[in-house]
Amino acid sequence: MKQGPPASVALLAGTAALALWACEKPPGPGEPLRGLTAQERHRFDEGRKLFAQEFTPETGLGPLFNENSCGECHEDPDLGGNGDEVEVHATRLLSDGFCDPLAELGGPVFQQRVTPALHDALGIDLEPIPEDVTARGMRSSPDLFGFGLLDAVPDSALLAMSDPEDRNHDGISGRPNRFVDGRIGRFGRKAFVPTLSEFNEGAFPNEQGVTTPEFPDEGTVGGTPIPPGVDPLPEPEIDSRSLALVNDFVRFLAPPPSGKPTRTIRQGRGLFQRIGCIACHVPELRTGSSPFRALAHRRVRAYTDLLLHDMGPDLADICLGLATPSEFRTEPLMGLGLSTRFLHDGRAASLEEAVGEHGGEAQSARDRYLSLIPSQRAALLEFLRSL
């Protein structure tokens, strides 16, 4: 009987393969994670096509919508990246502290475009916002790179970082947001959505007006039913298989590679830690078990704790779930170097301006940044641009 190679040879071959894998050029923006199976890579490629697909009124677009494809909002520097679109959210904070997302009136996302048929029927150009909202918020389109890894971080890891009572007296009191059913949220600027699949599926009706098996209702226009004949396509307008493929495209998007750690970048990273930014922008998370080998037990240099933090009154806008108007999820910084506009609404045109807008729990770190000498501030910003 023919025998295989000696165990020592097999071990050396396996070690060499691992070394080669480790030395490969890291995936670029819009590329998949390394280590996918052939089937997973196929699903990634098929999902990419659907992510870029442009809907029309005849194929399900609208009648209320923001853009006609996923890729229109997530396109720079490649599919899955950020976009220059800014959408409108609104909610109502009641006197008892309950946050009303205005779901029965079209909220919390109010679409800024309508199909010609809806315009002809009602004479409107965008979705009306109720007069009694307590706040409106603008939301820029983030990149989605590495979101599958964030999805695979266990809830227990988020709870371990939570300190709502600030028991360690460091002025940082992050806490998780929770969905309507009590599950811990992590996606969205207010960390309201628990899972990546729900985040992706919700984008179809909220951003494109495309109904799904989970959300088969077109909703209303300011509480009024959609006029007959405006949206003749049967519901749902996208099927479960297509949704699953889009989910796999986003799930398997690799985090963007970091820049080469020059002396200046290393100095900036040390300053980032020294002035206390890592209290919220936790440098590394670790994923747990996953049915996908490429996502299981991985270190993620995400620079976030995925928790809510009070950012002060100047940034405050809407409430959402348990999040008060001034509370926002710590924004992941992986991919920051690809951005040209910053903060949740894109108001900051530069990283330095974005740092200067930090208040609330981040004010002490911001003040320490401002006290650095110019060369130190430049090094810290260079580190951020390398992410």
Cβ pair 81, 338 in contact under 8 A: yes
- Per DSSP, the three-state class of 55 is coil
CA distance 97 to 74: 34
For residue 58, the 8-state DSSP code is: G
Cβ pair 325, 318 in contact under 8 A: yes
What pLDDT score was predicted for residue 379? 98
Helix locations, the chain, DSSP H:
7-23, 38-52, 70-73, 116-122, 147-151, 155-161, 196-203, 240-251, 263-274, 351-356, 363-370, 374-385
- What would the mean pLDDT of 322-330 be, rounded to a whole number? 98
How confident is the model over 47-72, as pLDDT tens digits? 999 999 999 999 999 999 999 999 99
**Which two three-digit tokens encode residue 188?**
């969205």
CA distance 302 to 274: 18
What pLDDT score was predicted for residue 14? 44
Nearest residue to 31 via CA among 140, 154, 141, 143: 143
302: pLDDT strictly greater than 80? yes
First to last CA, the chain: 54
145: pLDDT strictly greater than 50? yes
Q: Is 346 left (phi over 0), alpha (psi -120 to 50) or beta?
A: left
What pLDDT score was predicted for residue 11? 40
How confident is the model over 15-47, as pLDDT tens digits? 444 444 445 788 999 999 999 999 999 999 999
What pLDDT score was predicted for residue 3? 47
297: pLDDT strictly greater than 60? yes
How confident is the model over 62-101, as pLDDT tens digits? 999 999 999 999 999 999 999 999 999 999 999 999 999 9
CA distance 202 to 107: 12
HSE, side-chain direction, 13 A CA sphere, residue 235: 16
Strand-pair partners of 136: 90
CA angle at 87 for the pair 112 and 183, rounded to the nearest 5° = 120
CA distance 362 to 354: 12
5: pLDDT strictly greater than 70? no
**Which two three-digit tokens encode residue 55?**
């809907």
How confident is the model over 180-214, as pLDDT tens digits? 999 999 999 999 999 999 999 999 999 999 999 99
How confident is the model over 211-232, as pLDDT tens digits? 999 999 998 999 999 999 999 8
- In the chain, % of residues over pLDDT 70: 94
240: pLDDT strictly greater than 70? yes
What pLDDT score was predicted for residue 378? 98
Q: Is 222 left (phi over 0), alpha (psi -120 to 50) or beta?
A: left
Instruction: Give the global pTM.
Output: 0.91
**Which two three-digit tokens encode residue 309?**
């933090």
Nearest residue to 188 via CA among 172, 199, 202: 199
What is each CA distance from 336 to 7, 49, 257, in whole angstroms?
Answer: 45, 25, 11
Q: Where are the domains of the chain?
A: 40-385
**Which two three-digit tokens encode residue 209?**
């007006």
What pLDDT score was predicted for residue 20? 42
- The rounded mean pLDDT for the chain is 93
Q: Looking at per-residue confidence, does 335 or 18 come out higher?
A: 335
For residue 10, the 8-state DSSP code is: H
> How many other CB atoms are there within 10 angstroms of residue 297's CB atom?
11
- What would the mean pLDDT of 353-358 be, rounded to a whole number? 97
Confidence category of residue 264, pLDDT binned at 50, 70, 90:
very high
Residue given tokens 């009590």 in the structure block: 182
Cβ pair 218, 206 in contact under 8 A: no
- What would the mean pLDDT of 340-354 be, rounded to a whole number? 96
What pLDDT score was predicted for residue 10? 41
> How many other CB atoms are there within 10 angstroms of residue 132's CB atom?
9
